Chains A and B, each alone.
Chain A
Amino acid sequence: MSYLINGEAGSSHLLMGNEAIVRGALEGGVSVATGYPGTPSSEIVESLAGVAKERNLYVEWSVNEKVALEVAAAASFAGLRSMCVMKQNGVNVTSDFLLHLASSGTRGGMVLVSCDDPGALSSVNEGESRLFAKMVEIPLLEPGDFQEAKDITKWAFELSEEIRNLVMIRSVTRMSHASGNVRYGKLPDGKAHAQFDFHGSLLDQEKGPMISMVVSAAELQHGPQQEKLRKAAGIFEECPFNTYNGPERPELLIVTSSACNLYSREAIKALNLEKKAGVLKLATTWPLPRNVIKRHFALTDRIMIVEEVLPTLEENIKVLAAEMAPEIGIKTFYGKRSGHIPSVGEMNPDLVIGALSSVLGLKRKSMPEAFAGKARKLAETVVPKREMTFCPGCPHRASYWSIHNAIEMDNRKGFVCGDIGCYTLGMLPCGFSTLKTVHSMGSGSGIASGFGKLTQFGMDQPVVAVCGDSLFFLAAMHAMAIAVLQTSPFSLVSLDNSGTAMTGFQAHPGIAANAMGEEMPALDIAEICRAMGARVEKADPFDLEGTRKALNEMMEHREGAKVLILQQACALSPQRKGRKSYEMEIDEEMCLGEECGCNRICTRIFGCPGIVWNREKGVSTIDELICTGCGVCADICPQGAIKRREAE
């Protein structure tokens, strides 16, 4: 992380979009940063934590996004600059406090960063956070390249202090996780001092209490809040980050923002349309800069909006265009609503090239079919697909093996309610298709608690919820509280791999260190569950028989809440990575292959990438480079052909 604070002002560095946001926050004098990990946002808080000591910051991985925003708000109320970071889904979680915060306003510059994941590359769904800015009436900024990601973040703190309200920045995966040149500015020296003033009147934004609801709230708070937004709109008319590239009177005007700006530029170059089409790239996407748009719309008749997820920009622009029609005339629009831009999924240059070609009636220049057809055929017929699977030596594979087998043995059509993390893959064959519901963070526990109460309507299937260790604190413990209270026959399996593994081992309340690496007393999931009134057992998922027995006992016990903690560190965790417990070997004489009757249980069903079916020899073999030496597969071979011996 040192390159984030050591570079001279004026020097150029290759930074990820997320790192550019970090550098911008540091240049903007941020003092407090909070968040909850989630792809593609996690590197922001992580990188800030990495420089917390040198820059005198307080950085926190919070228990969830709502608490994260509250902690950051406290810093702002006390006059400090603060930032709160989350993935798109986190904005849903924090939205209740968000509305209140937007109403009370802020003091020290405060920035909310949401990293959206168009195409759901690393998400359960393809959500949209831009609408929240409109809904809670705060300004929204979207950087159009990496330099802007830094510059806009720094500027966002100034804007927030200017209007005394929260400013939201929205990034997307291809901005957050892509990298580009960033020229550094200066880091501030001054020391921040925190004090909360509250002696002024209820409506005194500078010295009064920070309260989102006062008597006659609608009139007294909502009005001034909208005034702040109007002030932002005025500032946006002069914002240097709204730029236009193209001819004076373009035949077609593209209006876009964020990563789609780069796709649009690429498409114009690929089609040699520099003299015909222009790109109006907006960085201030709520509220929209009315006069900027009017100026550009007056010089063209055809407008294409390039954006991802919902037609948010398109619809907001069309409202303005309708209002301005008497002055600028009627325009023709192309975008998601006309079908020129896909309504779902991530954008890329080829999709913009296709849309431009269709609108302008171009015969698309592309690879001759002789090559393209051959390439397509090879990709479809020769190249094997790579399905997602658990890593070699992953404790989740072993846990699902036992859960699946325990449910089969129980034989009452039991099922598992899933949740969010690496273990969501339990819905796929790599997890033996064990999960039968998957929704938002913590929902598996709430849904399982609900199923448990359906006995009164004749439901007698055993229900098990799974949740990770970080998720237990985020949301599952609340579901368990009501399950205990309502005596729901609730069974929770905590897949405790000792870290927020999916996003890169960030700290959570069950870990004995915080985001900044300081030692902390860890909260014990087992003790919390016992204190809440649940029966708690622990097992090692690598002990297949012991785990299966514990699961069956849990399912047989119909009354009250039961928790089984399956504890084994993630195979990629610092404590396990590169260390084998066992050297594994397959005795080729003992492996009977297709003749065995096991139906190749090790390679075909268990499916650990460390064991490979050798077609020529008709036996299974261990891939030493991939095997992590967990030893679990030795217990699934009915022939005992898989041998483990203690590693040195």
Chain B
Amino acid sequence: MGSAGFNKDPYSLIITGVGGQGNVMASRVLGSMFVNKGFSVTVGETFGASQRGGSVMSHIRISEGSSWSPQIPAFGADIIAAMEPVEGLRVLAQYGNPRCTLICNTHPVYPVNVIKGEDAYPSLGDIKRHVKSLTPHAIFMDATEEARSLGNPILANMIILGALCGVGRLPVGHGDFREAIAERVKTDQVALNMRAFDAGIALLGR
């Protein structure tokens, strides 16, 4: 895990994906982890109509001091966690910068125009190449496959969250996650979510 604090205030993270992937849950759990550590956290979320197949995004600001804008300024993100690869590229292009880290699930969720055959979905190789043209700090993993092996593809959100916390830039880890997840899910679901979180950290080593 990282050091006691951040080198920047506010520190800005984005969790992105497609409606239905558990984006909001992941961002609120992450936010709670930092509130429990005494930080001031602001989480901005886009949901509502976006749940119906649209892109979703949560902006998370972590500060020693106060609330910040629930929308991060352009090119202002320090870490982006993406539960879907083109969403990772989309958000990196809008909010990323050459120092920004991207953690990216490789399992695609096709937009309706791709399903219809009207738009092309870039290959994973192309996505990786484009991402690397924007930042050298990119980590790709098939979190959906890993989640499926744990029994439920929805757990990809907790796997990505584990990777996000394990990448070494955030001062939170296993114990903080246990405390925050226990506030949000039923007691019998805590252990499974913990396994997903730890699987995300483990995937970083592969």
Contacts and interface: CB of A to CB of B under 8 A. Distances in A.
A613 B68 contact: no
A12 B73 CA distance: 27
Contact of A422 (B41, B52, B90, B122): B52
Given A3-B183, A145-B67, A384 B55 contact: no
Candidate in A384, A389, A425, A626 with the most chain B CB atoms within 10 angstroms: A384
A374 B133 contact: yes
B67 A384 contact: no
B136 interface: no
A607 B86 CA distance: 20
A378 B112 contact: no
A379 B88 CA distance: 11
Given A39-B48, A609-B110, A181 B115 contact: no
A179 B90 CA distance: 24
Contacts of A604: 116-118
Contacts of B126: 382
A14 B89 contact: no
B67 A386 contact: no
Interface residues of B, number: 62
B52 A425 contact: yes
Interface in A243-293: 259, 262-263, 265-266, 270
Contact of B32 (A14, A382, A389, A603): A14
A72 interface: no
Given A379-B90, A387-B112, A180 B40 contact: yes
Interface string B130-145: 1001100000000010
Interface residues of A, number: 62
Nearest to B45: A177
Pick from B38, B93, B109, B183 the residue with the most CB of A within 10 Å.
B93
A14 B35 contact: yes
A262 B61 CA distance: 12
Interface in B59-117: 66-75, 86, 89-90, 92-94, 96-98, 109-117
Contacts of A623: 110
B69 A348 contact: yes
A389 B42 CA distance: 30
B158 interface: no
Given A178-B42, A376-B93, A385-B119, A348 B49 contact: no
A607 B130 contact: no
B172 interface: no
Contacts of A146: 42, 67
B119 A384 contact: yes
Contacts of A349: 69, 71-73
B22 to A, nearest CB: 13
Contacts of B47: 122, 177
A391 B111 CA distance: 12
A121 B46 contact: yes
Contact of A391 (B31, B46, B53, B110): B53
Contact of B93 (A174, A375, A625): A375
Interface stretch (A55-63, A156-164, A364-372): A364-372
B201 interface: no
Interface of B: 18, 20, 28, 31-32, 35, 38, 40-50, 52-55, 66-75, 86, 89-90, 92-94, 96-98, 109-122, 126, 130, 133-134, 144, 153, 183
30 contacts: A14-B43, A121-B49, A121-B50, A179-B42, A180-B40, A180-B41, A180-B43, A181-B41, A262-B42, A265-B69, A348-B69, A367-B97, A375-B75, A375-B92, A379-B89, A379-B90, A382-B89, A382-B130, A383-B86, A384-B120, A384-B121, A389-B52, A391-B20, A425-B52, A600-B116, A604-B118, A609-B110, A613-B115, A613-B116, A625-B153
Interface of A: 3, 12-14, 39-40, 121-122, 145-147, 173-174, 177-181, 259, 262-263, 265-266, 270, 348-350, 353, 366-367, 371-372, 374-376, 378-379, 382-391, 422, 425, 430, 600, 603-604, 607, 609, 611-613, 615, 623, 625-626
Nearest 3 CB-CB pairs, A to B?
Answer: A122-B48, A178-B70, A266-B69
